[in-house]
Amino acid sequence: MNMATVTMIPARQRVGSRKKEDSAPKLRVAAYCRVSTETDEQATSYEAQIEHYTEYIRKNPSWEFAGIYADDGISGTNTKKREEFNRLIADCMEGRIDMVVTKSISRFARNTLDCLKYIRQLKDKNIAVFFEKEGINTLDAKGEVLLTIMASLAQQESQSLSQNVRLGLQYRYQQGKVQVCANRFLGYDKDKDGNLVINPEEAEVVKRIYREYLEGRSYYDIGKGLTADGIKTAAGKDVWLASTLKKILQNEKYIGDALLQKTVTTDFLTKKRVANKGIVPQYYVENSHEAIIPREIYMQVQEEIVRRAHLQTGTGKRRVYSGKYALSSIVFCGHCGDVFQRTHWSLPSGKTIVWRCVSRLRKKTSGIDCPARTVTEADLHKVIVTAVNQALDERDSFLPALKESVGKALSSSNSRLIAEVDAKLEKLQKELLKKANAKQAFDSIADQIEDLREEKRQLLLEDATNEGVMQKVRELEEFIDGQNGPVNEYDEALVRRLIEKVTVYDDHFTVEFKSGLETDVMI
C-alpha cells in the first residue's frame, strides 16, 4: 500500500468576489466620505476628502481606483438617508468593489449597531473596510475587537453631540429666541435675519379659516371651500384635510406667540420625535413675532373647538357636530332639548325636506318618545326671514337698549388681573430656572406656575368671550344700518353671521341672535 502524499496549501486571503485574472490582481478600492453639517467650512472639508482619497488610492500600485462615494451634509447616526453610502454597499454586494477606505469609524457610522451590521455584511463577502485614522482593517484578526470598541466610542461621541445641541436649544428657548421653519407655515415667511414676517396673501387664507370656523362651518366644509377656490395648502397640496385645518386653528403662532419644544427627540440614533408630554420643559414665548389673528378671536376659536367636541344629545350621549348647513347644530327641540336634524320625508305628493328632533327620529335607541313636531325646511326658512325682519322693524327701540345693556355688563376688563398674574409668573419663572440649573427639585413651583397659567387662560377667555359678544352686537348694528328694506329671501351666509340658536316649540319658534337679542315667531 502506497503512503498517502499530503500537500499543504498555504492560506491566502481571497478578497472580494472577483475571479483571479492574473498572478497579482489589483484590489478594486473605493472611498467613502461624509461631512455631517452644511457650513462653508465643512463644505471645504468635504471637497478635500474627495481629493485626498482619489490621490490616496491611485498612488498605491496594488490598488485599482473604484470610485468615490460621498454624502454631503447628512448625519451619520443612521443610514436610511445616506444615498451614496447605500449605493456603496449595493456595489460591494454586486462584486464591483474589493475594499473600502474611509477616514474614521465616526465618518462611516456613529451607530454601533449599523456599523457592525455593515462591516459583517461586507466581511461575509471578503470585502475589507480600512479606517485610516484608527489604522483598522476589518479583515485583520484584531479588526472586529478593535472595531467594536471604536464604534462604541463613536456612538458615545454622537450622543454627547446630541446632548450638547439639545442643551444649546434649551438655552436659546430660555432666552426667548424662537426658531420656526417657515417652509410649510401658512401665513409667514422668513426675512434675511431668520425672523418671521407675514405673507399678506397667505395671511388672508388664515383669517378666512378662523372666520368661517366661528361662523359655524366644520373642518370639512372649510376645506371643501378652499379646495374649490383653488387655494393650496402650505405644503402645496390641492386638497385640505380636517387635520391640517385643526392644526392651523390651534397654532398659537398666529397670535404672535410660540410654544417651544412641543415635540422631543427620544432616541438620538433613530431621531424619533414624540409629543412632549412632560418629558422635558416647554417654553411659551409671548409676542415673539407679528400676529395674524387677534388674541380674542383665537381664544373664541379654542372655546368653540372644546364646545363642539363635547356636544351631547338630549339623552346625554355624545353628538357629532355638523356644519353642512347654516341651520345644522343650531335648531333645538323645546321639549327634550335635543338638536333637530335635516332629513327627507316621503309624502303622497312626493319627497320634501324636513327637520325633526333627533330623539324622536331615534326613539328606539334614545328611549325617548319626544312629541316634537316636524318642521318643513321651507317653514324654517320663513321663521329666519321673519325674525330678521322683526329685528329690522324694531331697530329704533331694541338696538340702543341692547347696546347699553351689553355695554354695562361687559364694560369691565380683566387686564389688571392678568397683569398681576403675569407678575407672579415672572417671579416664579426666575425661581424655577434657578432651581432647574442647580438641579434642585421644583415640583411645587411647577404646580404654582401651572395653576397661574390656567387662571390667566380663564381671564383671557372671559375677555375674549365678552369681546365676541360686543363684536356680534356691532355686526348686527352694521347689518341693520346697511339694510334699506325687508329681507325677502333666506340667506345661509346671513344665518351663519347673525343667528345663534332656533328653538322649536308646539306653537311658536324662538330665534336667538348672536348679539343676545331674542324674538318669537308664530308660524
Task: List, in sequence order, the alpha helices (H) in 377-491.
Answer: 377-393, 395-409, 415-437, 443-482
Q: What is the pLDDT along the chain (523 residues), one digit of tens a residue?
A: 455 544 444 544 444 555 444 456 789 999 998 765 454 454 556 677 778 888 888 888 899 999 889 887 655 445 556 888 999 999 999 999 999 999 887 777 756 667 777 888 898 899 999 988 878 888 876 676 666 665 565 556 555 555 554 544 444 544 445 566 667 789 998 888 778 889 999 999 999 999 999 888 899 999 999 999 999 999 889 999 999 999 999 988 899 888 766 665 555 445 566 666 655 566 677 788 889 999 889 988 988 898 888 877 656 677 778 888 889 889 999 988 888 999 988 777 778 999 999 888 887 666 778 899 999 999 999 999 999 898 888 877 767 766 666 665 555 677 888 888 888 877 877 777 676 666 666 667 777 877 888 888 888 877 777 777 777 777 777 887 788 888 899 988 888 888 889 999 999 999 998 878 889 999 7
Cβ atoms of 516 and 408 closer than 8 Å:
no
- Grid coordinates of 170: 434649551
- Grid coordinates of 195: 425672523
Amino acid occupying residue 295: R
pLDDT of residue 100: 94
Which residues on adjacent β-strands are paired with residue 65? 29
Q: Please tell me the number of Cα atoms within 13 Å of 303 on its side-chain side.
A: 18
pLDDT of residue 441: 65
Closest Cα to residue 150, out of 125, 130, 126?
A: 130
Query: Which residue do the cell numbers 352686537 mark?
Result: 473
Q: Is 24 exposed, middle or buried (0-12, 13-18, 19+ CB in 10 A)?
A: exposed
Query: Which residue do the cell numbers 380674542 mark?
Result: 296
263-267/99-102 β-pairing: unpaired
Task: For the full predicted model, state whether its pTM sits above 0.85.
Answer: no
Cβ atoms of 521 and 505 closer than 8 Å:
no
User: What's the CA gap between 286 and 155, in Å, rounded?
Assistant: 38
End-to-end CA distance of the chain: 125
Query: Which residue do the cell numbers 420656526 mark?
Result: 180
Residue partners of 231: CB distance under 8 A and separation at least 6? 205, 240
- Nearest 10 degrees: CA dihedral of 431, 435, 441, 442? 30
Amino acid occupying residue 302: Q
Angle, alpha carbons 441-446-448 (nearest 5°): 125
Sheet architecture: strand order including 509-513: 331-333, 499-504, 509-513, 518-521
User: What is residue 318's DSSP assignment?
Assistant: B
Closest Cα to residue 49, out of 60, 33, 38?
A: 33
Which residues on adjacent β-strands are paired with residue 344? 353
Query: Which residue do the cell numbers 355686526 mark?
Result: 475
pLDDT of residue 280: 57
- Grid coordinates of 467: 369681546
Cβ atoms of 347 and 333 closer than 8 Å:
no
pLDDT of residue 148: 64
- Output the DSSP codes for 179-238: ----TT-TTEEE-TTS-EEE-HHHHHHHHHHHHHHHTT--HHHHHHHHHHTTPPPTTS-S
Closest Cα to residue 35, out of 71, 10, 86, 79?
A: 71
Complete domains list, the chain, with CATH: 27-162 (3.40.50.1390), 188-308 (3.90.1750.20), 374-521 (no CATH)
Cβ atoms of 266 and 272 closer than 8 Å:
yes
Residue partners of 16: CB distance under 8 A and separation at least 6? 27, 28, 95, 97, 98, 99, 125, 126, 127
User: What's the CA gap between 317 and 359, in Å, rounded?
Assistant: 11
- Grid coordinates of 279: 418629558
Cβ atoms of 161 and 154 closer than 8 Å:
no
Sign, Cα dihedral of 208, 210, 215, 219: positive
User: What's the CA gap between 361 and 357, in Å, rounded?
Assistant: 6
| CB atoms closer than 10 angstroms to residue 459 | 18
Residue partners of 83: CB distance under 8 A and separation at least 6? 71
| CB atoms closer than 10 angstroms to residue 273 | 12
